[in-house]
C-alpha cells in the first residue's frame, strides 16, 4: 500500500486539465500511470500559472527556460512521490533525453533546453500542437489514439 502520496494527481476543481490517461501509458509499461518527465515539463509549460517557474523562450521554436530550477524539481518530486528530488537529479534525467533525441541543451544559455519537436515529438505524439506563438496545446483526438513510442 502506498500512503500519503497519491499516484495520479487530480485536476483541482478549477479548470486546469491534465494529459488524457492514455498519454501516461507506454508500450513498455502498459498499465503504468507514471508520467514521464518530458510530459510533465510540457504540462507545466502549457499552464499560465507556472510562467515564473518555467517558460517558452520567445523566438526559439521549442526552446524553454527553467527560471526556478528548485521549484521545478520540487513539483516533479511531488508528482513522483520523491521528496528528495532536486535539480541535480532532475537534470540528469533530462540529459538522458539527449541520446533519445527528445531534448537537447541550448549551449551557453543557463537552464535552457530545447525540444526536438520536428524530428521526434510531432510524428509520435500527434496530440501535441505547437502554435505560432510557441505555445503548446494538447488535442484530445479520441481515446483510440495510441502513442506509438519508438525512441
Cβ–Cβ < 8 Å for 15, 48: no
Contact between 107 and DNA per CB under 7 A: yes
Contact between 76 and DNA per CB under 7 A: yes
- Could you give the 3-state DSSP secondary structure of residue 32? coil
From 8-16, 33-41, 52-60, 138-146, give the range in contact with DNA by CB under 7 A.
33-41
Give the residue among 58, 93, 55 at the shortest CA–CA distance from 73: 93
Contact between 96 and DNA per CB under 7 A: yes
Contact between 17 and DNA per CB under 7 A: no
* Closest distance of CB 99 from DNA, Å: 8
Indicate the residue among 82 and 130 with the shorter CB distance to DNA.
82
Distance in angstroms (rounded) separating the CA atoms of residues 92 and 106: 15
Bridge partners of 137? Answer: 129
Cβ–Cβ < 8 Å for 57, 63: yes
Give the residues lining the site for DNA (CB under 7 A): 26, 28-29, 36-38, 76, 80, 82, 84-85, 88-93, 95-96, 98, 100, 105, 107, 109-112, 149, 151
Amino acid at each position: 500500500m502506498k500512503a500519503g502520496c497519491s499516484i495520479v494527481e487530480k485536476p483541482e476543481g478549477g479548470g486546469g486539465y491534465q494529459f488524457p490517461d492514455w498519454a501516461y501509458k507506454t508500450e513498455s509499461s502498459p498499465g503504468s500511470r507514471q508520467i514521464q518527465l518530458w510530459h510533465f515539463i510540457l504540462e507545466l509549460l502549457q499552464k499560465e500559472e507556472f510562467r515564473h517557474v518555467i517558460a517558452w523562450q520567445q523566438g526559439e521554436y521549442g526552446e524553454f527556460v527553467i527560471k526556478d530550477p528548485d521549484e521545478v524539481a520540487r513539483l516533479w518530486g511531488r508528482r513522483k512521490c520523491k521528496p528528495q528530488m532536486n535539480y541535480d537529479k532532475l537534470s540528469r534525467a533530462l540529459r538522458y533525453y539527449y541520446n533519445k533525441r527528445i531534448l537537447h541543451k541550448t549551449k551557453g544559455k543557463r537552464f535552457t533546453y530545447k525540444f526536438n519537436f520536428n524530428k521526434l515529438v510531432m510524428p509520435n505524439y500527434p496530440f501535441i500542437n505547437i502554435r505560432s506563438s510557441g505555445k503548446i496545446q494538447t488535442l484530445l483526438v479520441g481515446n483510440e489514439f495510441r502513442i506509438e513510442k519508438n525512441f
